[in-house]
Amino acid sequence: MVKVLLPQGSPATETETIDPEPWMDQSECNIDNAHLFASTVPEEISQAKSLCAVCPVALECLDYALRIEKGYKTRFNIFGGLTGKERRKLAKLLEGN
């Protein structure tokens, strides 16, 4: 089990316990660059997306985000190379809405 810090205003509680998945060990994001993935600064968002673009587990990450965010209207941070807003659009397309 891992405690993750969710951004302020997240629909979940401030911290949430998740079970790490095996692919998470191979991610390009880590404690040193985690701030980029929660940033609202355009340059930092671009840096995060650049890391996602070369991440070997980007598809697993995106699939994970879509699964855990199911039912949430608001999505935060960058997962799988997509912002929360971009994932919301993708989820709507996948759901046929």
Residues that bind ligand SF4 (CB under 6 A): 27-29, 37, 51-52, 55, 57-58, 61, 78-81
Q: How far is the CB of 14 from ligand SF4 (least distance, A)?
A: 20
Q: How far is the CB of 96 from ligand SF4 (least distance, A)?
A: 25
d(CA 12, CA 3) in angstroms, rounded, equals 13
d(CA 53, CA 62) in angstroms, rounded, equals 12
Nearer of residues 75 and 96 to ligand SF4, judged by Cβ: 75
Q: How far is the CB of 61 from ligand SF4 (least distance, A)?
A: 3
Nearer of residues 34 and 72 to ligand SF4, judged by Cβ: 34
Q: How far is the CB of 93 from ligand SF4 (least distance, A)?
A: 19
Nearer of residues 76 and 79 to ligand SF4, judged by Cβ: 79
